[in-house]
Structure 1
Amino acid sequence: MTRHQKRLSVPKSWPVERKEGTFTVKAGAGPHGEAGVPLLIVLRDVLGYVDSKKEAQYALNQQSVLVNGDAVSDVRRPIGMFDILAFTEREKYYRVFPDEGGRLSLTPIDADSASSRLGKIVRKSQVTGGNFQLTLHDGSNIVVDDASEYTNKDSIVVDNESKEIVAHFPYEEGALVTAVAGSHAGDIGEIDEIIVTPGSGNNSVIVDNEDGGFETIEQYVVVIDENFTGDDE
């Protein structure tokens, strides 16, 4: 299997220029599915911390690059929405956040904010032993004793060290959300109304903000904390 990806066919969320060269590195197996951006692209093309794959691998071998609190050893490790990147030697921390147009960008945050990450619940299921498993947007799972307070489309904040839930934001009218896809990607506002579509059609939401608001399908929004975008250094 090839380890290269044609630039013209990369997902729209990847922060790469499609017409600069023919190939780029292909993401390895891991979280975020096809939307995951290889860590090498983040290190080399976005941040400019390294000039080559060899330099990137050397940095990872020093265990100074953390993703969601864990040291990473694979330069092809997929990076995606709401991941927390920590560069311990540089004392630099970033949250991956969709910008206008849905491309992933890096938001500088402080060390305290880098201690946890946001996740959108996409599935809830019961597992062996009677516990419940919450599956998040990136494919990761959190096991809880009681899942009665959680529903799909809610957001939770997970501590990167303990992997425990430290905050919960229900998906409901009045919740603060950000659009992560579609023509309003990157826009933030409060849900004014959730419009339920009969049958198998997509539900939609009307979101209010200072720019007059917007309407989009509910799959395109994620509930966030009111301080979520105020962590810039």
Structure 2
Amino acid sequence: MAKMGSRKHLKRFKSPEHWPIHPKEFKWTVKPSPGPHSIEGSLPLLIIVRDILQLADNAREARIILNNGEILVDGRIRKDYKFPVGFMDVIQIPKTKKAYRVLPDERGRLALHPIEKENIDFKLCRIEDKTTIKGGKTQLNLHDGRNFITDGEYKTGDVLVLNVPEQEIKDHIKFESGTIGLITGGKHIGEKGTVKEINITHGSMPNTVLMETNQKTFQTLQEYVFVLGKDKPVITLPGGN
């Protein structure tokens, strides 16, 4: 039994801090399946259905809801209760006509931000890396594990607006000065501001970005800045745009 538990489950005290479960209530919790997001950067669907949305009183009821096809992630029905849901994913519950986008709160925890109908059919994906492949085309590796083959002009750090579930590129937000960015890591996680200056370093030192909000100016790592739009965010955010 111990071997089975270690393969399908995760000890609660080892679960990420942002999971909304009590570490000592039970010994085990659900372990996310391998997927687009890491354990540290995701929430298993079962925890979302049972603990966050409170659509079920226990794991059995949550699995029934999922098996009935009542939960969509990025426009697709997901029945795997271990499926990892992460940053910028869109969750829909057609039966209740409610939808949410996964965003960090002010404490850095993944949270479900309610969104309206006009925000449901697209998501934002940051380009983490790109490589030139056979035929001169470019492969874009996105933050949620997706890969795109394209001949368009895109740079690392740019953000793609994708239609879901079609996964077609709808728009493109360049990572450049003047854009609005959301901080996804470090002590300023969850804050929103304007990219004032991008500092390209040489050698092993990471690139940094000077950000400006209504109250302050601060510096953060480039990898922590997720651009949301040129003049204003293309998505709604907690607390308004």
What's the TM-score once normalised by structure 2's chain length? 0.88
Counterpart check, 1:229 vs 2:232: no
Superposition map of 1:55-204 within 5 A: 55-128=61-134, 130-144=136-150, 146-147=151-152, 149-204=153-208
Amino acid at match of 1:31: P
Counterpart check, 1:11 vs 2:21: no
Whole-angstrom CA distance in 1 between matches of 2:8 and 2:214: 44
Whole-angstrom CA distance in 2 between matches of 1:208 and 1:7: 38
Whole-angstrom CA distance in 2 between matches of 1:9 and 1:80: 18
Question: Which sits farther off after the overlay, 223-232 or 90-99?
Answer: 223-232
Deviation at 1:98, TM superposition (A): 0.7
CA, structure 1 residues 47+191, in 2 after alignment: closer, same or farther (shift >3 Å)? same
Whole-angstrom CA distance in 2 between matches of 1:54 and 1:130: 50
Whole-angstrom CA distance in 1 between matches of 2:185 and 2:23: 19
Q: Alignment RMSD, CA only?
A: 1.8
Whole-angstrom CA distance in 2 between matches of 1:183 and 1:142: 32
CA, structure 1 residues 176+52, in 2 after alignment: closer, same or farther (shift >3 Å)? same
Whole-angstrom CA distance in 1 between matches of 2:201 and 2:140: 25
Whole-angstrom CA distance in 1 between matches of 2:15 and 2:184: 18
Deviations 1:41-62 (A, max 9, x none): 1111111011222212211222
**Structure 1 stretches lacking a partner, 5+ long:** none
Deviations 1:44-92 (A, max 9, x none): 1111011222212211222221100111010000010000000011111
Question: Which sits farther off after the overlay, 189-198 or 120-129?
Answer: 120-129
Q: Tell me, yes or no, if the aligned pair for 2:10 and 2:29 is still in contact at 8 Å.
A: yes
Query: Helix, strand or coil for the counterpart of 2:88?
Result: coil
Q: Tell me, yes or no, if the aligned pair for 2:115 and 2:236 is still in contact at 8 Å.
A: no
Deviation at 1:20, TM superposition (A): 4.1
What's the TM-score once normalised by structure 1's chain length? 0.91
CA, structure 1 residues 212+55, in 2 after alignment: closer, same or farther (shift >3 Å)? same
CA, structure 1 residues 19+212, in 2 after alignment: closer, same or farther (shift >3 Å)? farther
Superposition map of 1:30-45 within 5 A: 30-34=35-39, 35-45=41-51
Deviations 1:117-166 (A, max 9, x none): 1101011123455543211101112232x13x211110011000321111
Percent sequence identity is 37
**Structure 2 stretches lacking a partner, 5+ long:** 1-5
